[in-house]
Chain A
């Protein structure tokens, strides 16, 4: 079964850091681009970052550029999001999603992990 499972969410103080992970299974992880999308409580979807299959191409939304770092380990079938200098407005459910090419549909999504930034 094709599956993405996020982990690493939790409660963190403003200015703090958190590292999210996304474990992939059921497909050839190294052949796909991967993405992070977040959703603040009661709000819409917001694209956060994307990384190509070999990590050659990495892009960020302006709202997280310079604070978040996306990475992947194809040997471990895992995607990561290092989040630094967290702000209250980063509070959201964070989803990982795969896409066949960089500019392609997000065809498989994880169930999401909640990040709460609060003092």
Chain B
């Protein structure tokens, strides 16, 4: 079965740049999406179609893609960005969705 691989944790100090990667064999053919989830809350979409930002999401959130890896970048990290982040994409057939295992972002 298809899998997306994320690092379990990333730690940065306030004001620094956090980069969270997500790897999967079908990523060159399928868009990736990123979600932020804070404790006790539902996920929130922060990046769609690899690099597009929904309205209301701060400009410090950006996404990029290169081959089988996509990256969520948070520039000038703030304390409020501390959360779990999940990547999502479809398998090569485009019929089955997969989420990455999630990355816990800690703001030191």
Contacts and interface: CB of A to CB of B under 8 A. Distances in A.
Nearest to A35: B97
B45 A105 contact: yes
B66 interface: no
Given A47-B99, A62-B1, A95-B42, A103 B94 contact: yes
Q: How large is the interface on A (under 10, 10 to 19, 20 to 34, 35 or more residues)?
A: 20 to 34
Given A45-B86, A62-B1, A103-B90, A109 B99 contact: no
B45 A61 contact: no
Interface string A79-117: 000000000000000010100000111110111100000
Interface residues of B, number: 26
Contacts of A21: none
Nearest to A61: B96
Contact of A44 (B45, B86, B90): B86
Given A35-B97, A47-B98, A107 B48 contact: yes
A92 to B, nearest CB: 13
Interface in B57-108: 84, 86, 88, 90, 94-102
Residue among B42, B54, B90, B98 with most chain A CB within 10 A: B42
Nearest to B94: A103
B43 interface: yes
Contacts of B101: 44
Interface of B: 1, 30-31, 33, 35, 37, 42-45, 48-49, 54, 84, 86, 88, 90, 94-102
Interface of A: 35, 37, 44-47, 50, 57, 59, 61-62, 95, 97, 103-107, 109-112
